[in-house]
A and B are shown apart, each in its own frame.
Chain A
């Protein structure tokens, strides 16, 4: 069957290879040729790449796509170049060259930015990050955050939510809870800018829960104090839940914490990874937090 397929597509493959050779000749600099002819070579490369892809030869297709992209770039059409690079990146993922994947998608994103099209640039970064997140989570996270930064610069904060969510989920998977909480807080800030109150409150509550899961009550408390300054969070149900949770922690009662989590009406609507963390609260030992803000200074003997 495979041989049949190969024989069937062989003429096409042969044709594609011929196209590639022809295009290579056009572009290679030699003694007689002083300037490469990209305008003629690019469509040949594209045709060859499509043929290779249909023939399920990802390696050759990827190379052809890359060359086509270079050609488009030289012809000052970065949009098409970006598209070709994305296709090349997808093929590289199939091949398993994850470094190359990252590289290709980053280049595609830069080209899109050159065109002035920010959304496709961010999408390219997202796609690249998703492709490598299992294998190279650090790089993936960086790409997600770059995508968020790109969109925020352009003023399209709302599109960044999905990237934030993916970045936070990777951090949680890596057990880097402080980083995850930071991402959530940034998400809340972006939501605040575009007046998406629901997302903002959910992001803040998620941050607090992640801090509590990381056994870091002080940070959770500090971030809660910061968040409660915001009117939109202060009036929300999520704030109520956060207050209950933090007071249960302060009193050091694990059964109370579990009760708050199980009967809360807002926690089941958060992202699923945060729900999973919340269900595992309290993690670690919970002791009553004593408020040591100078009550012991005033002593009866001081009146002497």
Chain B
């Protein structure tokens, strides 16, 4: 091997392991000002972020769940370590450095914010979205919505619990409305107790009257049955009476006969009556005075039949 080869090889090796060359680094640090400290830390953090991102990408493409878990854990560890570096960066950024323009100084905090955001964005298998963490109020975005953003010191301040006018008015109105509601509810309660009492009394009255109504029921049933029996008996008696139709006809005929007999007897002495013609056989026999009772009745009957 020639010397040139050895030199080149040594150069490559040195370059590769440059970071382990403390002298060179310290020399670089002495020559550079604090400005480079910030830059150096910044570059270191950036490199670590890159490494963590590569690891997370490996984790995403990995099929084996166990390997994925270990890779994710490592990513998270590095993220936490990087987050711890951020305050150091902030301190360094605040240091006034010579040979540095004012714009660059102003840009430093924004750089740190961007770095913090990059760290957050490294996927580590956690599905919870964390947008805009609590990085201290100085670095917060005024348009973001934050929950539980109260600093503990804030809560301890006495002015925190002071009442403004609006809150006082609101409280008073609340109390008033509540009192009115309570009044209304009391009235309703009183009405309900009255209703309950009345319902109970009605219940007892009904219980009282139930046996009375049952008694009335039985008595009325008995009366109805009696009436029915009486009606039937009356009906039977009436039908018995009415079926003796012949009896009635006989009665009527007897009355007729007696009437006719009477008229015959009264008109027998007057020759100008229409019944004179009918009475001829009777008159003949009257003259003879020898007529018997049977013959008289026979002749009367004949007269009737002929009429």
Q: Could you list which residues of chain A lie within 8 angstroms of chain B, going by C-beta atoms?
A: 156, 158-159, 194-199, 237, 265-266, 268-269
Interface hit among B196-204, B274-282, B286-294: B196-204
Question: Are the CB atoms of B190 and A198 closer together than 8 Å?
Answer: no
**Which B residues are in CB contact (< 8 Å) with A158?**
204, 207-208
Instruction: Give the secondary structure class of B's interface.
Output: helix
**Which B residues are in CB contact (< 8 Å) with A194?**
207
Count of residues in B whose CB is under 8 Å from the partner chain: 12
**Which B residues are in CB contact (< 8 Å) with A196?**
204, 207
Instruction: Answer yes or no: B12 CB below 8 A from chain A CBs.
Output: no
Question: Are the CB atoms of A198 and B208 closer together than 8 Å?
Answer: no
Q: B181-240: which residues lie under 8 A (CB-CB) from chain A?
A: 189-190, 193-194, 197, 200-201, 203-204, 207-208, 211
Question: Are the CB atoms of B208 and A269 closer together than 8 Å?
Answer: no
- A199→B276 CA distance, assembly (Å): 100
Closest to A199 in B: B204
- A156→B211 CA distance, assembly (Å): 9
25 A/B residue pairs, CB under 8 Å, sorted by A: A156-B211, A158-B204, A158-B207, A158-B208, A159-B208, A194-B207, A195-B207, A196-B204, A196-B207, A197-B200, A198-B197, A198-B200, A198-B201, A198-B203, A198-B204, A199-B204, A265-B189, A265-B190, A265-B193, A266-B193, A266-B197, A268-B194, A269-B193, A269-B194, A269-B197
- A238→B207 CA distance, assembly (Å): 21
- Excluding A158-B207, A198-B200, A269-B197, 15 further A-B contacts by CB distance (< 8 Å) are A158-B204, A194-B207, A195-B207, A196-B204, A196-B207, A197-B200, A198-B201, A199-B204, A237-B193, A265-B190, A266-B193, A266-B197, A268-B194, A269-B193, A269-B194
Render B55-78 as a binary contact track against A, CB cut-off 8 A, 1 for contact: 000000000000000000000000
**Which A residues are in CB contact (< 8 Å) with B190?**
265
Q: What's the least CB distance linking B203 to chain A, in Å?
A: 7
- A159→B193 CA distance, assembly (Å): 26
- A159→B208 CA distance, assembly (Å): 7
Closest to A157 in B: B208
Q: What's the least CB distance linking A174 to chain B, in Å?
A: 27
Q: What's the least CB distance linking A270 to chain B, in Å?
A: 10
- A196→B201 CA distance, assembly (Å): 9
Q: B78-93: which residues lie under 8 A (CB-CB) from chain A?
A: none
